[in-house]
Amino acid sequence: MRREGARRGGRRPRTGRAGYHHGDLPRALVDAALELISREGVRALTLRAAARRAGVSQAAPYRHFADKDALLAAVAEEGFRLLTASMRTAAPSTGDDPLGRFRGFGLGYVAFAAGHPAHFRVMFGREVADRARHPGLQAAGGEAFALLVDAIRACQQAGLVREGDTETLAVSAWSTVHGLAALVVDGQLDRDGSPDVAALAHAVTGSLFFGLAAPRPAGG
Amino acid sequence: MRREGARRGGRRPRTGRAGYHHGDLPRALVDAALELISREGVRALTLRAAARRAGVSQAAPYRHFADKDALLAAVAEEGFRLLTASMRTAAPSTGDDPLGRFRGFGLGYVAFAAGHPAHFRVMFGREVADRARHPGLQAAGGEAFALLVDAIRACQQAGLVREGDTETLAVSAWSTVHGLAALVVDGQLDRDGSPDVAALAHAVTGSLFFGLAAPRPAGG
DNA sequence: CATGAAATGTTGACGATGTCAACACCGTCG
DNA sequence: CGACGGTGTTGACATCGTCAACATTTCATG
């Protein structure tokens, strides 16, 4: 998806040549992993297969990743960065529409999942065995969560979301969008014929907001 | 968890002896798989390890499961059956409290996930590669979903949930509880110190109901 | 430009895995 | 009692993750 060719040709970015050395093996391995996961599932992701796809030998990845888990962790971490980016993109940054911003985060979350299913699976699946050994993973996830918490707090301060423990409300909101995203990614919603993810996302976040809304002042 | 010993001793149920033949290898293999997944993650589930744990040789499982996927599918299918059972248990069956029944389903869903994380992971993870090849999986999942749809429809007919496409509302509800369950199972919520799953489930389903509730008649 | 150290890639090997084919044991049915 | 189907065993093969030893390239020096 991102850069792929454009370096074996003869260009020579600061860290990369052509020929014996690959140029940017870590990037190529991550891309290969994503491709394999997308096309054949996580089970098909093999260090050797990724190396083959990148055009290097079986042991080359070990120059850049301690083990298979480290490669998966890199995928997951990139995913979290893309997630927060997607959320920020989908949310209007105007200060005077906290509810719209909040909703944008939800839509961005679902859009990310639908657009990057391979990332999403690695991020939230159990593929990365020992999460604690890969710092920056929990941190990257925490950043996205913090985004949500801040948005909800802003809504509360504007009187648009009912009072209560902000983190608990955030868990509620996160659960809702995460659940929809997970169901979409796992193909669990392809029951009869409702593949319109965007419409579902709007409906689901809509219900969510009704649930979190502050009680209308009488007569409003 | 379920039966484990109790058959090598000398008892002889209708389909099971002692000695050379195992007695109930399929059951033992499923249990071994669950144990391995619970203790060391899905990555640690190995046909050979399950066979070892069941006390049989490496190739014995192939008498009962076509391949590793088939064993996983059996685990998933059992999981869906336990899920619907958990939902039914948690939901009052009285006809005059459709909202309580609805909420019970949600609580039962989360309770199942918290109580059977290994099942849950296999059910909704991407472990089972080709779901289409294992009928009864989609069907078992569909049954749980149908339960939810019926409950929502009952609420709508009682005027407790707002009108609209029932299936879409069901997706909304399912997303919410599924999201919470997934986050709990993946340990994504162990951020500072909020391990009280039951309380979270109540809070989350509470928000959900506000969101789905029918507009109060004016002055009610 | 020569040169040696640090990066990066390659080859070959080991134990473990999924899976198959060939074989052995057990209980049942005639 | 004897054959047969179901169940379990042994042995083998290709592949996988990973490591050690070796090769090549790049870069910082002189």
Per-residue pLDDT tens over the stretch A51-79:
999 999 999 999 999 999 999 999 999 99
φ, ψ for residue B161 (rounded to 5)?
A: -125, 140
Q: Name the A residues in 29-68 with CB < 8 Å from any B CB.
A: 41-43
Q: Which residue has the higher pLDDT, B216 or A111?
A: A111
Answer for the pair B118, B40: CB distance below 8 angstroms, yes or no. Answer: no
pLDDT for position A186: 78
The mean pLDDT of chain A is 83
Q: Does B127 touch chain A (CB under 8 A)?
A: yes
Distance A59 CA to C11 C1' (A): 10
Q: Quick one: pLDDT band at residue A9, thresholds 50, 70, 90? A: very low
Closest CA to B185 of A211, A186, A118, A179: A179
pLDDT, tens digit, for every residue of A164-209? 889 888 888 988 899 999 888 877 776 655 558 888 899 888 888 8
pLDDT reading at A17 higher than 60: no
pLDDT reading at B5 higher than 60: no
Judge whether residue A44 contacts strand C, using its CB and a 7 Å cut-off: no
Q: How far away is chain A from the Cα of B204, in angstroms, using its nearest Cα?
A: 5
pLDDT for position B194: 55
pLDDT for position B186: 78
Bridge partners, residue B161, by sequence: B213
B179 chain-A contacts, CB cut-off 8 A: 174-182
Residue type, B174: W
pLDDT, tens digit, for every residue of B9-62? 333 333 334 566 778 999 999 999 999 999 988 888 999 999 999 999 999 999
pLDDT for position B142: 84
pLDDT for position A70: 95
pLDDT for position A184: 87
pLDDT reading at B97 higher than 70: yes
**If you count residue pairs, one on A and one on B, with CB atoms under 8 Å apart, how many are there?**
130
pLDDT for position B105: 93
Helix (H, G, I), strand (E, B) or coil at A116: coil
B188 chain-A contacts, CB cut-off 8 A: 124, 141
Residue type, A177: V
pLDDT, tens digit, for every residue of B180-202? 998 888 777 766 555 588 888 99
Residue from A121, A176, A186 to probe the interface with B (highest B Cβ count within 10 Å): A176
- A108-112: long-range contacts at Cβ-Cβ below 8 A with a sequence spacing of 24 or more? A109/A83, A109/A144, A109/A177, A109/A178, A109/A181, A110/A177, A110/A180, A110/A181, A110/A184, A110/A197, A110/A200, A110/A201, A110/A204, A111/A86, A111/A198, A111/A201, A112/A82, A112/A83, A112/A86, A112/A87, A112/A181
Q: Which residue has the higher pLDDT, B7 or B132?
A: B132
Q: How far away is chain A from the Cα of B7, in angstroms, using its nearest Cα?
A: 34
CA distance B24 to B15: 7
**First-to-last CA distance in chain A?**
49
Q: Which of B171, B177, B207 has its CB closest to that of A200?
A: B171
Q: Which residue has the higher pLDDT, A119 or B96?
A: A119
Q: Does A174 touch chain B (CB under 8 A)?
A: yes
For B161, the token pair is: 């949930």
Whole-model pTM: value is 0.83
Q: Quick count: other Cβ atoms within 10 Å of Cβ B68?
A: 20
pLDDT for position A171: 87
Positions of chain D reached by protein Cβ under 7 A? 6-12, 15-21, 24-27
pLDDT for position B188: 72
pLDDT for position B192: 59
Q: How far away is chain A from the Cα of B19, in angstroms, using its nearest Cα?
A: 36
Q: How far away is chain A from the Cα of B114, in angstroms, using its nearest Cα?
A: 15
Residue from A126, A137, A145 to probe the interface with B (highest B Cβ count within 10 Å): A126
Residue type, B195: P
Percent of chain A with pLDDT over 70: 85
A176 chain-B contacts, CB cut-off 8 A: 172, 175-176, 179, 208
For residue B161, what is the DSSP state? B
